[in-house]
Amino acid sequence: MTRTKLIFFLFIIGLGFLGAFLSGFYLKAYFSPKANDFPILNQAYHILINHAYTTLPEPPGLEYGMIRGLLESSTDPYATFQEPVQHELESNNLQGSFGGIGVEFNYDSDRNLIIFPIGNGPAAKAGIKKGDRLLQVDQLSVNTDTSLDDLKAAVRGPIGEPVNILVYRSNVEPILEFEIIREEIHLPSVTWRISPDDATVGIIKMNIIAESTSQEIIDAVDQLQHEGVEKFIIDLRDNGGGLLTAGIEISRLFLQDGIIIQQQYQGENVETFRAAKPGDLSGIPLVILINEKTASAAEIIAGALQSNARAILIGVNSFGKDSIQLIFDLDDGSSMHITAAKWWFPNLDHPISEGGLVPDIEIYQDDSPVDVILNAAVKYYKDH
């Protein structure tokens, strides 16, 4: 190979490497978001930092405001942002339990935070008394501006780990200090009782659709049956939903078979959820109560049982929320909820977003203190 050909050959190879490098560089720049991808936002941010006369929020307050503005501009009506404290408390509610010390809090007339131990929980066993004034939780100093959410998050934590509490007790000096070991504290999502008008009818109220709800329902039915209950009313009024997967599992409890819902994420195939075998509670008589605040996973339960002719619905049209939100945890413990999919009942002739679920027996609750919708459900059993 001549010198000229060798130089030319090396030149071509060099061009190839340069082209590959530039292609990789620009592809990375194209697919990797940077501050320059939002030049106006970046400019506005620096103007605010450099020129604002008023006091700006402490970090990360400005970032949180930007995130909320971003979600508001997305046109997703259910997109939300939760700061770390709110995210932790919501996660506890959906899980149905948390590591805690078994207390409730309230403000007195001077906005001092007063602590109330529950039952024989960790706080009560450690010596906390009803009416003790809370002064500090670990490193959190408690004052009249401390929010209940911040306080709840501070006392919660990993099961088996200690939390240090300082309290003031009237007529006792000095300030009292307690080290309390966190235990698992359950958050019941279900309550139940026997109808005062018919001892054979049991009323099960679902307040939220959580991981623990399915087992709580089984326990409630078992307890009520031991007390002579034969027929059941599931009260889903004012239930805004919760976990979609829990709503599907609860539906399976009551169904012999049949399709519960179908769902689809963007760009993916339709997924069908079924009851493949008779559920543990598929044989009990069932009536479901709904109203305009029955939404999301609660509507899945009501609609699946109605569309499979398993239960009748009594009340007024439900809210009509047929979208699925995914929760994305951010690095500081905050979270974003983003609509990522839709679900529907294949046997329903319209999306529930267009008017909600339609009850089989429509009953409106007036201003009367009498629960006319519940009374209608009890009457239905007497007539059938």
The predicted model scores a pTM of: 0.82
pLDDT at 31 over 80: no
pLDDT digits (tens, 9 = 90+) for 48-91: 999 999 998 888 999 999 999 999 999 899 999 999 999 999 99
Give all strands (DSSP E) within 231-344, no chain letters: 231-235, 258-265, 271-275, 286-290, 312-315, 323-329, 335-344
What's the CA gap between 93 and 186, in Å, rounded? 9
Look up the CATH number of domain 190-383: 3.90.226.10
The per-residue pLDDT for 36 is: 60
Does residue 224 contact residue 191 with C-beta atoms inside 8 Å? no
The residue extents of the domains of the chain are: 98-186, 190-383
Does residue 355 contact residue 340 with C-beta atoms inside 8 Å? no
pLDDT at 185 over 60: yes
H or E stretch at 306: helix 297-307
Instruction: State the Rg of the chain over Cα.
Output: 28
pLDDT digits (tens, 9 = 90+) for 223-254: 999 999 999 999 999 999 999 999 999 999 99
The per-residue pLDDT for 3 is: 54
Residues constituting the chain: 384
Query: Which residue is listed with tokens 């949180």?
Result: 64
Higher per-residue confidence, 25 vs 316 = 316
Q: Token digits for 375?
A: 């009374």
Confidence of residue 25 (pLDDT cuts 50, 70, 90): very low
pLDDT at 26 over 50: no
- Average pLDDT for 88-112: 92
Average pLDDT of the chain, as a whole number: 90
H or E stretch at 29: helix 3-31
The per-residue pLDDT for 4 is: 56
- Average pLDDT for 152-176: 92
pLDDT digits (tens, 9 = 90+) for 325-344: 999 999 999 999 999 999 99
- Write out the DSSP string of 50-66: HH--SPPPPTTHHHHHH
High-pLDDT (> 70) share of the chain, %? 91
pLDDT at 28 over 80: no
| CATH homologous superfamily for the domain 98-186 | PDZ domain (2.30.42.10)
The per-residue pLDDT for 109 is: 86
pLDDT at 370 over 60: yes
Does residue 115 contact residue 128 with C-beta atoms inside 8 Å? yes
Does residue 56 contact residue 46 with C-beta atoms inside 8 Å? no
The per-residue pLDDT for 68 is: 94
High-pLDDT (> 90) share of the chain, %? 78
Highest mean pLDDT among 9-23, 133-147, 291-305: 291-305
- Average pLDDT for 288-300: 98
Query: Which residue is listed with tokens 């939100």?
Result: 325
